[in-house]
Amino acid sequence: MFRSQYDTDVTTFSPQGRLLQVEYAMEAVKQGSAVVGVCSATHVVLAALKRSFSDLAWHQRKIVPIDEHIGVAISGIAADARVLTKRMRDECLQHRFVYGDAMPVGRLVHLVADLCQKCTQRISRRPYGVGLLVAGVDESGPHLYQTCPSGEVYDLVGMALGARSQSARTYLERHMDEFSSASREALIRHALWALNETLASAKDQHLSAENCAVGVVSIGDDMRFHLYEHEQVQPLLDACAFPKSGGTATETSTEQAPQNVTDSDEHHDATMQQDTP
Amino acid sequence: MAGVGSGYDLTTTTFSPEGRVYQVEYATKAVEQSGTVIGIRCVDGVVLAVENLRGVKLLRPDSLRRIFAVDRHIGIAVAGIGPDGRHMVGRARSEAQNYRSVYAEEIPPSLLAERLASYAHVYSLYWHVRPFGCTILIGGWDASQGPCLYVVEPDGSGYKYRAYANGKGRTAVRTALNKLNFEQLTCTSAVQEIARMIHQSRDIAKDKPYELEMAWISEASDHKFARVPGALVVSSRQAVEEEPQQMETGGSTASADRGETPSTSTHIMEES
Amino acid sequence: MIETPTHTTEPIVTGSSVLGVQCVDGVVLACDTLASYGSLARFQRITRLHQPAPGVVIAGGGEYSDLQQLFRITDNIFRQEFCQEDGYELSPRALHSYLARVLYGRRSRMDPLYNSLAVAGKGRFLGCIDLYGTAFESEAVATGIGALLALPLIRKQWHAALAMDEGVRLLEECLRVLYYRDCRALRSVQVAKVSDSGEVLISEPYELSNLQWKVAQAAEEV
């Protein structure tokens, strides 16, 4: 099982200058079900695939509101995500209390990232095994950020995390030039199309009102984060016109790379599934 | 997978039989793999520059910065692990603020460098922490001495430099830095030189696209930390990219050197 | 028994009133340049106005050392803003809220900063905070004894079309009244103008003119 003698402590550099424990924590992010985020000049949209671990279990929460103007999609260890999202809520409340206005999204994300970094430098902690897509608006417009267990922060126009997310990223990269001018509806469609790419090719898996959640926030008068779940998602899905078979979108099917080639995360799926939404 | 110091290289609290602390050396490997970072002290200011590699296509332009303001008169450029760099920058900001609250004046960059070096050093001493995987370039304006450049390494050393480079293209850039005339070099021409050095140190076929991120503390910016005006960065970069590749100097040899172990003798150290 | 500290509730070196008024093209703040030691006019050329960043001016009365500390605190947060470089700008309203939390926090710990502040900023912002952390915005503010003597005068003459220069004259008139009646006031004053677009002009200290002490004689005769 073990790959080298340098991979058991977070405080140990490999001879190449890598931190393998941190890289393994990044693997945990890939084990959660997929989440997608896209950002236009006016809107940010999050879309998530929710797993249910048994027929008797509720589908897990993948998108959580943080403050009026910020929402987060999580992929990785759910309990770690809860710690971070709680902290984010506290910071937003604190900012409102102190300054009387909404927390700038970038600053919130960097607070969380600094928290993640601290966990990579002491042996008494393990890195947080969760990746966040943070969607929010502030004075400087709409923002989509990604945080990593390493403490790295990315400021993006689109991103997908979680299981089989490579195919969603491929979709996003191919369409990224369209995002900036996209309308609210078009942006939601892009997010759901990308999310649809992450589905296993098995016939029985498809996006539905049960297993899908969408979050939207926009600039303008209503700077609030809206979360659509359950029956509210259905109209959004209906507007997408997915191919019946699921898996690969018709318009891109010819150019689609074989999924398993780009997907290194698939063999991890069996482990830790109980903990990863 | 075993490293060169096999058995003696697992924690910072272990010396190897020949007296080396391998974990600290491995931390510097993280620095050497980052995009090239350059600092130059000129006659009228100090310039910090980063070859900001854009591995992720979906990134927004001008994001993922590696140069940070610490105080109005000091900036830091980070080579190596970005989040570790941010940690150091956070520490630097609180040191600067702390100094000001005690002495009611700006912290001298030399003192800031010393304090940060001590901070980095602590992280190379104990088994329960790891060294910082980053080297930081501190550019500042000293009230009495004018512009200055200090560099703090993962091992906790802090030296003053006329010019410094680290990261993937360091070998070629250090060679090029040695040829500059620092007695006459102005910030504006340093910006153009840096654009050329970074361009020539790259292997166009292999390397990821990059953004040129630059900041200075100069007479032009009123001795304050400021981003180098975008127009100057863009024009400097365009100028070198349109120029035909020079075969004998930087160009092709530099690309071959990229990523290999540097000879430290090319550092242009002023004093320790 | 828990001993409640009392030494923090006795200011030593104090400034008196601060006045502020919103005008049609900006905000004006005014105060004198005195810090009294008890009833002694001890420091006569100190400034109680402070510009921590472009487009913001704060002015304060009460314990002068606490006021200096508050000025340092505001300088610090604007320095942190400078370092962030993320395009977000701390508005005068946010600063006003921040200072209110500082003062409220200190008073809740029974260790107040003994000041009352006026905050003026671009976008025609004018707010007021006292040592308890009470904070509000208003088109006219006055702290200390000015709240009793000057505020009624400002309100009487205030109108929506008041220009900044008229505002300066109005506040000068109030400072004159305060100089007559407030024994901790001084003839030497300073005025700050903050235009809507954020231009700040803080005057050098100057002496109030046209003082009429004949009324004092009249008072003696009664």
What range defines the domain where residue B53 resides?
22-267
Average pLDDT of B209-237?
96
Least CB-CB distance to A99: which of C84, C86, C94?
Answer: C94
Range of the domain at C133: 7-221
**A237-251, B76-90, B125-139, C114-128: the lowest-pLDDT one:** A237-251
Query: Residues of B with CB below 8 A from C80's CB?
Result: 93, 97
pLDDT, residue B251, reads: 42
Q: Which residue has the higher pLDDT, B123 or C210?
A: B123
Mean pLDDT of chain A: 87
User: Facing residues of C35 across strands?
Assistant: C43
Please check whether residue A142 touches C, CB under 8 A: no
- Encode chain C (222 residues) as per-residue pLDDT tens digits: 677 777 777 899 999 999 999 999 999 999 999 999 999 999 999 999 999 999 999 999 999 999 999 999 999 999 999 999 998 999 999 999 999 999 999 999 989 999 999 999 999 999 999 999 999 999 999 999 999 999 999 999 999 999 999 999 999 999 999 999 999 999 999 999 999 999 999 999 999 998 988 877 777 765
Residue B183 CA, chain-centre distance (Å), reads 21
DSSP 3-state percent helix, strand, coil across chain B (nearest 5): 35, 25, 40
- In this predicted structure, what is the pLDDT of residue A206? 87
pLDDT at A129 over 60: yes
Q: Of the given ranges (A198-202, A221-225, C156-160), which has the lowest mean pLDDT?
A: A198-202
Q: What is the ipTM of this complex?
A: 0.90
Please state, in angstroms and as integers, the Cα–Cα distance from residue B92 to each residue in B34, B76, B95, B108, following that order.
21, 9, 5, 12
pLDDT higher than threshold 50 for residue A253: no
CB C139 within 8 Å of CB C22: yes
Residue B10 domain-assigned? no
Number of domains making up chain C? 1
The answer to whether residue C2 sits within a structural domain is no
Question: pLDDT: is A2 or A4 the higher one?
Answer: A4
| Reported pTM | 0.89
Closest CA to B48 of B65, B74, B34, B67: B67
Kindly calculate the radius of gyration of chain C based on its CA atoms and give it in whole angstroms: 18
Taking 90 as the threshold, does the pLDDT of residue A79 lie above it?
yes
Nearest-by-Cβ selection for A156 from B32, B59, B86: B59
Contact B29 A3 (CB under 8 A): no
The confidence band for A204, taking pLDDT boundaries of 50, 70 and 90, is: low
In a domain, residue C128? The reply is yes
Best residue in A98, A110, A138 for a mutation probing chain C (most C CBs within 10 Å)? A98
Please count the structural domains in chain A: 1
Are B83 and A116 in contact (CB < 8 Å)?
Answer: yes
Helices (H), chain B: 22-32, 82-103, 109-122, 170-178, 187-201, 230-242, 251-257
Cβ contacts of B86 on chain A, cutoff 8 Å: 110, 113-114, 117, 151
| A17 belongs to a structural domain | no
- Give me chain B's average pLDDT, please: 90
Inter-CA distances, B208 with B34, B53, B204, C222, Å: 12, 6, 8, 91
Q: Give every CB contact of residue B263 below 8 A, 6+ residues apart in sequence.
A: B171
C82 touches chain A (CB under 8 A): no
Residue B187 belongs to domain with CATH number: 3.60.20.10
Q: In chain C, what residues touch B222 (CB-CB under 8 Å)?
A: none
Question: Which residue does chain C place closest to B74, by CA atoms?
Answer: C83
User: CATH number of the domain that C175 lies in?
Assistant: 3.60.20.10
What burial letters (b/e) apply to B133-142, b meaning 16+ CB within 10 Å? bbbbbbbbbb
CATH of the domain at A105: 3.60.20.10
More confident residue, A126 or A206: A126
Q: What is the pLDDT of residues A11-70, one digit of tens each?
A: 999 999 999 999 999 999 999 999 999 999 999 999 999 988 888 988 999 999 999 999
Q: Which residue has the higher pLDDT, B207 or A275?
A: B207
Interchain CB distance below 8 Å, A99 and C84: no
So what's the pLDDT on residue C216?
A: 76
- Quick one: pLDDT at residue C87? 87
- Please report whether residue A261 resides in a domain: no
Better pLDDT: A94 or C8: A94
Q: Using 50, 70 and 90 to split pLDDT, how confident is the model at A268? A: very low
**Which range has the worst mean pLDDT, A216-225, B74-83, B250-259?**
B250-259
Chain C hits for B65, CB-CB cut-off 8 Å, are 85
Q: Is C1 part of a structural domain of the chain?
A: no
Query: What is residue C10's predicted lDDT score, i.e. its pLDDT?
Result: 87
Could you give the CA distance from residue A269 to residue A82 in angstroms, rounded to a whole number? Answer: 21
Q: What is the pLDDT of residue A4?
A: 82
Total structural domains in chain B?
A: 1
Chain B: residue whose CA lies nearest to C84: B69
Show which residues of C are catalytic: 8
Cβ pairs bridging A and C (under 8 Å): 30
Q: How far is B63 from chain C (nearest CA, A)?
A: 10
pLDDT band at B246, cuts 50/70/90? low
- C179 in a structural domain: yes
- pLDDT band of B245, cuts 50, 70, 90: low
Residue A98 lies in a domain: yes
The DSSP call for residue A204 is: T
Residue B35 lies in a domain: yes
- Say if residue A277's pLDDT is above 90: no
Q: Is C84's Cβ below 8 Å from some Cβ in A?
A: yes
SS3 assignment for A117-166:
HHCCCECCCCCCCEEEEEEEEECCEEEEEEECCCCCEEEECEEEECCCHH
Of C88, C93, C94, the CB nearest to A138: C88
Structure tokens belonging to residue A182 = 């996209």
Residue B4 lies in a domain: no
Structural domain that includes position A35: 24-239
Q: Do the Cβ atoms of A107 and C86 come within 8 Å?
A: yes
Q: Which of C83, C90, C101, C102 to mutate to test the interface with A (most CBs of A within 10 A)?
A: C101
Report the C-alpha gap between A172 and A12 in whole angstroms: 35
Q: A47, A10, A30: which is closest to A268 by C-alpha?
A: A30
